Amino acid sequence: MKEPRNILITGASSGLGAALALSYAHSGVTLFLSGRNAERLEKVASDCRGRGAKVERAVVNVVDEDTMATWIEAADTSRPLDLVIANAGISAGSHKGEEETCDQIRAVFATNVDGVLNTILPILPRMRERKRGQIAIMSSLAGFRGFAESPAYCASKAAERVLGEGMRLRLKPHGVQVSVICPGFVKTPMTERNNFTMPFLMNPERAAQVIKLGLALDKGRISFPMPLAFVVWLLSFLPVGLSDVLLGIRKR
């Protein structure tokens, strides 16, 4: 969608979600922003208002199904949503030598998978009814291949990617656009915890512009940066034994 006017973004209190909110903020736009950190969320909302946008914010956790449904339905009733960006996500265990604990694995899936469902399911019937709207699901290049540092995170992002790809085909006849966003490494509070090399690390403002352009063009998959996307795509197609060897070499 080229010029969405009413936009809802989860995970908007920092990182890529905040950058996306700011990239869309201008006069004539209404933003519905959610996050768990009230202070940071209000700072983003204030900055967006400074650019001319009308902003409604909600301190809510995407794992709370009932609260999410109430918030999203109320937002859509007040201003029919043109674009919903399911951005909220968490990771765990990406430090060398650390494994994801059982509790962390469940939390990752609750936020990254259930959280996406809690974001998009309440709005889909409404968009289908009016035959208009766009859904964007924040996956990752990590969703193309499991990596030893964060297998649960990779698996959750793979679930998001495949869900979005299938829903794009299912909803296109109903006038609803669906795009899956697969970024590489973006400088955010999440990636700042990583203590390994992150090739082609991108600032969130640049990443937001790439995403915004891809959504305007209704791209089914928005993968970037291209060199890293190609490497990950290639790894996903190689025989598992060969990709295991290559990743083993990378770890040493």
Q: Find residue 35's DSSP bridge partners.
A: 59
The set of residues, in sequence order, having a beta carbon less than 8 Å from that of 196 and lying 6+ positions away, is 94, 96, 149
Whether the Cβ atoms of residue 119 and residue 88 lie closer than 8 Å to each other: yes
Q: Phi, psi at residue 236, to the nearest 5°?
A: -70, -20
What confidence category does residue 1 fall into, taking pLDDT thresholds of 50, 70 and 90?
confident
| Cβ count near 16 (within 10 Å) | 27
The mean pLDDT value of the chain amounts to 91
Whether the Cβ atoms of residue 19 and residue 208 lie closer than 8 Å to each other: yes
Whether the Cβ atoms of residue 142 and residue 154 lie closer than 8 Å to each other: yes
The set of residues, in sequence order, having a beta carbon less than 8 Å from that of 246 and lying 6+ positions away, is 235, 238
Closest Cα partner for 170 from 120, 205, 95?
120
Quote the pLDDT of residue 178: 99
Catalytic: 24? Answer: no
Tell me if the domain spanning 6-251 has CATH number 3.40.50.720. yes
The string of pLDDT tens digits covering residues 77-134 is: 999 999 999 999 998 765 555 678 899 999 999 999 999 999 999 999 999 999 999 9
Would you kindly state where each structural domain of the chain is located, as residue ranges?
Answer: 6-251
Quote the pLDDT of residue 252: 44
The rounded distance, in Å, linking the Cα atoms of 93 and 104 is 8
Cis-peptide, bond into residue 225, ω within 30° of zero: yes
Closest Cα partner for 158 from 144, 138, 137, 177?
144
Long-range pairs for 75-79 at CB < 8 Å and ≥24 separation?
Answer: 75/6, 75/8, 75/32, 76/123, 76/126, 79/5, 79/6, 79/30
The string of pLDDT tens digits covering residues 26-64 is: 999 999 999 999 999 999 999 999 999 999 999 999 999
Token duo for residue 162: 């495949």
Q: Which of 24, 71, 144, 153 is catalytic?
A: 153
* Strand positions, DSSP E, the chain: 6-9, 30-35, 54-59, 83-86, 133-138, 176-183, 221-224
Q: Range with the lowest mean pLDDT among 80-89, 123-132, 191-200, 217-226?
A: 191-200
